[in-house]
Structure 1
Amino acid sequence: MFMKKFKAVFGSMLLVSGLMLGACSDKGGSSEGSNEGDKEFKIAGVLMQSDVEWFKQIQYGMERAAKEYNVDLKIGNSNLDLATESSLFDTYTSQGMDAIIVSAIDSSSSVEAIKRAQEKDVLVVNYNTNVDEDVMKYYVGIDNFELGAQAGRKVAEYVQNELGGQAKIGMVTLSMFEVGIKRAEGFLSEITKVPGIEIVSQQDANGPENGMSVAETMIQANPDIDVMWAANGGTTHGVVQGIISKGLQDKIKFFGTDMDLQSANALLDPANPYQAVSTQDPEKIGYESVKAAVQALKGESVDSNIVVDLDFFTKEDKEKLEQYIEKYKNL
């Protein structure tokens, strides 16, 4: 979904796929950052796509932190449009915002808007995606290598325990983006530890339709595939549908990336080939972004690279999956 490769600072894009969940915080209030009586800061959060579940969870986390840290929060939607993103920066700067939190659309083209805000003494915190390092002061995101490695470890375990240590694997990757490259590298670092695993195909896809088409083509050319893995959320759903469309849900097992409600329901379905998902925690990313902005504005010490913990869901985690659905079903 992004217009250029993003540099890796430890990695969502987030990709709107989804970009992707660590240990999600409860909906209720928490004592993590109660700042009653402190100065109220004005902070704007810029989403890439406000109607996408991943960014809805980002907003949810921002709003929770805003309540706890006494923040007057405004939410804007760039809708993947650079002109809109630039306009939002100028508007928020003119409105006297103390900070702007953004998942930048482009690693270089978004820089000028950020610079203009910084020249007016507006603090900028990048989350999920990053920009040229001489502009970016704070970044909140994940370790994309580990995101892929988590899935790789689970696949390796499955092959050893369920397939006698022998398996042919199809990888649906995202090598057009730096984060996708890191995820694939992490995945391969784990599955190559099992001598009996053979990668029979590795192809790129981005999004449900593309993912389904690539999966069907891959299966057609390699009917002996035992396991498939996809590197991002939107593609995940397409690959699952590609497996089902071929009537091979009992033979080919699937492991995905980036949790959402559709994935949770698929994992709860015993007949679905979806086995497990390695995931980000967008709510936590949103929360930590606001928290970092507040701390920086108060002159407190803040890490320049804040790495948010990952999470993992499996088909066996019925109670955990049901809790996830209950928590986010109304977003």
Structure 2
Amino acid sequence: MKVFNKAALVILLISLLVLTACNENTTNSESSNTDNKKYEIAGILMQSDVEWFKQIQLGMEKAAKDYNVNLKIGNSNLDLAEESNLIDTYSSQGMDAIVMSAIDSSSSTQAIKRALEKDVTVINYNTNVDEEVMKYFVGIDNFELGAQAGKILVDYVNEHLNGEAKLGMVTLSMFEVGKDRERGFLSEVEKAPGIEIVSKQDANGPENGMSVAETMIQANPDMNVMWAANGGTTMGVVQGIISKGLQEKIKFFGTDMDVQTGNALLDSTNPYQAVSTQDPEKIGYQSVEAAVQVLQGEEVESEIIVDLDVFTKDDKEKVQQYVEKYSNI
């Protein structure tokens, strides 16, 4: 009788182990199917031929691969009608999420509303929209971006110019991000009593930047440092300095890194000294990542702020790595 009980107990234990294993396999299989759901996500770029947005796309594509996402990329080309059409099309196609940089904080909202009404998750990156439709934002603090540039310039003036300089600012006050950058920049520069702002003008784009720089230089022959608030414009200002033959006298500090800026930093004769910048590839990555997390029901911060970066003429190895990485995109 005792032998029979032991045998029965062994059989019972084996049966329980088999059942447990089956249950675990079933649970793991179900979990795997859920985790491996292939979400359909659309990414909308403002300008697909611009290096900044090419890096955004690289980040989106890397996140799509890492998170097993079907990613579709569209280009609004700074056209509100095209942006609206893309949002409506992706919503009708049953996309799970749309990741976008809105062209206008107000005018872009109606199309976003229509997407939200169809239960499409919308992640805004780079640009903000009206609060009533903006659930999630991935980007940078533009005030801090400007402040970072200001601190770099002040440190240079203190170290190389005995704390005194005549400064020309090429701003971007026609856009809210430009205003934020200018305020941040001034928050640092105004701490330095030896720096005098002798000129401040708006510009946007290389040609405009070059023209404005030449005008400012002509009107302020004692100016010896300059700053510009956005990419593209920065290289125009640099060319304006060079066209006047003043690359030895006027030192330049910029905002927004690109390959052209990298090459300027690597050139010892170029007046470009340092650039305060964001990381568009990381912004693209974290935008898609946030979309996946929202779709999976995870708790996601309504505002995800991506870290800033700095490239300087002194750190040629870091600059060279950047140039090699992005030269062929």
Give the alignment's TM-score, normalised by structure 2.
0.89
Structure 1 residue aligned with 2:19: none
Is the 1:36–1:70 Cα contact (8 Å) retained in structure 2?
no
d(CA) in 1 for partners of 2:303, 2:154? 30
d(CA) in 2 for partners of 1:301, 1:37? 16
- Equivalent of 2:171 in 158, 167, 173: 173
d(CA) in 1 for partners of 2:103, 2:154? 35
d(CA) in 1 for partners of 2:126, 2:310? 19
- Report the secondary structure of 2:232's partner residue: helix
Structure 1 residue aligned with 2:220: 222
Q: CA offset at residue 150 of structure 1?
A: 0.8
d(CA) in 1 for partners of 2:104, 2:59? 23
Q: CA offset at residue 90 of structure 1?
A: 1.2
- Equivalent of 1:49 in 47, 50, 70: 47
- Report the secondary structure of 1:276's partner residue: strand
d(CA) in 1 for partners of 2:328, 2:34? 29
Structure 2 residue aligned with 1:156: 154
Q: CA offset at residue 194 of structure 1?
A: 1.3
Structure 2 residue aligned with 1:143: 141
d(CA) in 2 for partners of 1:164, 1:89? 54
Q: CA offset at residue 326 of structure 1?
A: 1.2
Q: Deviations over 1:265-316 (max 9, x none)?
A: 0000000000000001000000000000000001100000000000000001
Q: Deviations over 1:72-94 (max 9, x none)?
A: 00000001111111111111111
d(CA) in 1 for partners of 2:144, 2:182? 10
d(CA) in 2 for partners of 1:215, 1:195? 24
d(CA) in 2 for partners of 1:159, 1:329? 31
Unaligned residue ranges in structure 1 (runs of 5+): 1-34
Letter in 1 for 2:246: L
Matched, 1:242 2:266: no
Q: Deviations over 1:208-266 (max 9, x none)?
A: 01100100000000010010000000110110000000000000000000000000000
Structure 1 residue aligned with 2:71: 73
- Equivalent of 1:232 in 226, 230, 233: 230
Is the 1:151–1:256 Cα contact (8 Å) retained in structure 2?
yes
Matched, 1:325 2:329: no
- Aligned positions of 1:194-213 closer than 5 A: 194-213=192-211
Structure 1 residue aligned with 2:260: 262
Largest Rg, 1 or 2: 2
d(CA) in 2 for partners of 1:148, 1:71? 35
Matched, 1:104 2:102: yes
Give the alignment's TM-score, normalised by structure 1.
0.88
Q: CA offset at residue 36 of structure 1?
A: 9.8
Structure 1 residue aligned with 2:10: none
Higher relative contact order (CA 8 A, sep 6+): 1
Structure 2 residue aligned with 1:86: 84
Is the 1:280–1:309 Cα contact (8 Å) retained in structure 2?
yes
Q: CA offset at residue 191 of structure 1?
A: 1.3
Matched, 1:187 2:185: yes
Structure 2 residue aligned with 1:293: 291
- Report the secondary structure of 1:200's partner residue: strand
Structure 2 residue aligned with 1:281: 279
d(CA) in 1 for partners of 2:119, 2:79? 24
- Report the secondary structure of 1:233's partner residue: coil
Structure 2 residue aligned with 1:125: 123
Q: Deviations over 1:154-182 (max 9, x none)?
A: 11111111111111000000111111111
Unaligned residue ranges in structure 2 (runs of 5+): 1-32
d(CA) in 1 for partners of 2:149, 2:124? 26
- Report the secondary structure of 1:299's partner residue: coil
d(CA) in 1 for partners of 2:226, 2:148? 15
Q: CA offset at residue 37 of structure 1?
A: 4.8
- Report the secondary structure of 2:197's partner residue: strand
